Amino acid sequence: MTVAAQAMIWQSAGLPGQKHQTETASGRCMICGTEIDGEAVPAKRIIKSTTVGDSQLFRFRQATHFCIPCAWLMEIGKGRPGNFIASEPTGFELAVISVESVVQDKRPWLHIVRDLPQLPPETPITGVLTTDVKIRLWHRCQIATIGDFGLYVHAPDYDVSEWRHFDLVDLLRAIDELLPILRAGYAKSAAYHSLFNDYKRASRDPAETLRLESTLARLRNRPEFLPALLIAGVTKEEKRAHAKPARHTDTTPADRGEADPAQLGLF
Ligand SMILES: [Zn+2]
């Protein structure tokens, strides 16, 4: 029997208990479709008026029970659980997009993905990379490996919500190419669409902007580009350090080392 991604997430979290009473059942899990033969949670204990309409969530409508991993994941808390990565050797880890997050016990994606190449290529892995932590996405996870990498990528601002395969090494390379552009003060949306959308910044050094644009043109149609753009993050300090040598009299917020509101979020 193949292991569902949901079972893998639960196993990587150390087989945590779930709060609902179980009973012996057979059939398939209403969410992941895994064959149930033994302990399971009756659907009526979990489905509420707020979840009943989620057709994406309950793909196996004829089923009557939830497997234990899905029952646990359904109740995993406010973040549902938002950004996470799960693999057997490293466990279940919550993540954040911002590199300046002060949330304890959640590392930025940037730090997480840089550690991943240390794992053997055959290591199974799954996870969700999302700009919206309020919705459930774990049920859309598939199992990838370090060598054949992928994540569920949910970024409605870029019209993307899909399981995406991409190469981990390519991802890290794309991040390294994006970081200098973000340090220069460009917003992520400018890197995504065109640096010339930020005309004021782009026109300061058109030759350099064209050079950066040719890098981006090569990256933009690659599967790793959007995940890299979401994960790439720079601190205010890094932008300040970049801005100093090129200080002009007509200073912009970035030159003054102030937070550019567009950079704090995802745009
Ligand atoms: Zn399940």
Ligand 1 center from residue 45 Cα (angstroms)? 14
> Which of 121, 110, 118, 113 lies closest to 146, judged by CA?
121
> pLDDT grade, residue 154 (50/70/90)?
very high
pLDDT at residue 179 greater than cutoff 90? yes
pTM of the model: 0.87
Residue 103: predicted pLDDT: 76
Q: What mean pLDDT value characterizes the chain?
A: 88
Ligand 1 center from residue 175 Cα (angstroms)? 34
b/e code 231-249 from CB counts within 10 Å (16+ = b): bbbbeeeebeebbeeeeee
Ligand 1 center from residue 203 Cα (angstroms)? 53
Listed range (29-33, 54-58, 107-111, 171-175) with the worst mean pLDDT:
54-58
Ligand 1 center from residue 125 Cα (angstroms)? 17
Give the three-state DSSP class for 126: strand
Ligand 1 center from residue 224 Cα (angstroms)? 29
pLDDT at residue 190 greater than cutoff 90? yes
Ligand 1 center from residue 40 Cα (angstroms)? 9
Contacts of 213 (CB under 8 A, 6+ apart): 194, 195, 196
> Which of 137, 144, 140, 133 lies closest to 87, judged by CA?
144
pLDDT at residue 259 greater than cutoff 80? no
Ligand 1 center from residue 73 Cα (angstroms)? 9
Ligand 1 center from residue 26 Cα (angstroms)? 13
Ligand 1 center from residue 39 Cα (angstroms)? 12
Ligand 1 center from residue 12 Cα (angstroms)? 15
Phi, psi dihedral angles at 28 (to 5 degrees): -120, 155
Within the chain, residue ranges assigned H as helices are 5-12, 68-74, 109-115, 168-183, 188-192, 199-202, 206-220, 225-231, 236-243, 261-264
Residue 265: predicted pLDDT: 44
pLDDT at residue 59 greater than cutoff 90? no
Ligand 1 center from residue 235 Cα (angstroms)? 39
The residues whose Cβ lies within 5 A of ligand 1, an ion, are 6, 29, 31-32, 34, 67, 70
